[in-house]
Amino acid sequence: MEFGSAHNFLEGKAILVIGATGFLAKLLVEKILRVQPNIKKLYLLLRAGNSEEATQRLHDEVLSKDLFKVLRGMWGAEFVSFISEKVLAVGGDVSVENLGIKDTKLREKLWEETDIIINSAATTKFYERLDVAMGINTMGALHVLNFAKNCSKLQMLLHVST
């Protein structure tokens, strides 16, 4: 896909990125916000028991990183309001059904709104216990697929994996 068309494709879209504290997903999140600020919403699923914990992780492990310096510079004093308007941290866990999103209203909102799902959640420890690795990398992929099937507007499901 040409850069121009990818950029245009993202405009006005509600995008769910799963595994947003990860190496690849952080780069993706920064790039989307930098090149296409006119997205509808960026939902970031982070491994957490609730949205407060997820929001804390979003600030501590994603937005506070040097990677976001350029974006902070671009928005200056409006960075915080830009982020609160466009980004929502969602607590969850891919290894359980419905991605571990306990808030039913939020789950239904995601099913209604999401245009694009990008799953980058995985255990990347090659010496991980087999049951744990199966739960995240295999069952996780299935849970993402089942979640995607409930998204009435979905245009793209991108699964990132080794």
Ligand X SMILES: NC(=O)c1ccc[n+]([C@@H]2O[C@H](COP(=O)([O-])OP(=O)(O)OC[C@H]3O[C@@H](n4cnc5c(N)ncnc54)[C@H](OP(=O)(O)O)[C@@H]3O)[C@@H](O)[C@H]2O)c1
Residues found near ligand X in the complex (CB under 6 A): 19, 21-25, 47, 93-95, 120-124, 136, 160-162
Name which of 8 and 146 has its Cβ closer to ligand X. 146
Closer by beta carbon to ligand X, 75 or else 160: 160
Residue 110 corresponds to which amino acid? L
Closest CB 125 distance from ligand X, rounded Å: 8
Q: CB of 51: closest distance to ligand X in angstroms?
A: 14
Contact between residue 58 and residue 19 where contact means Cβ atoms under 8 Å apart: no
Please, what is the minimum distance in Å from the beta carbon of residue 64 to ligand X?
14
Closer by beta carbon to ligand X, 21 or else 51 = 21
Specify the residue, 66 or 152, whose C-beta has the smaller distance to ligand X. Answer: 66
In the complex, least distance from residue 33 CB atom to ligand X, rounded to whole angstroms: 17
Residue with the CB atom nearest ligand X in the bound state: 22
Give the position of tokens 């087999």: 130
Contact 44, 87 (CB under 8 A): yes
- How many of the other CB atoms lie within 10 Å of CB of 136? 21
CA 161 to each of CA 25, 118, 136, 140, 158: distance values in angstroms, whole numbers, following the listed order: 12, 11, 12, 11, 10
H or E element in which residue 160 lies:
none
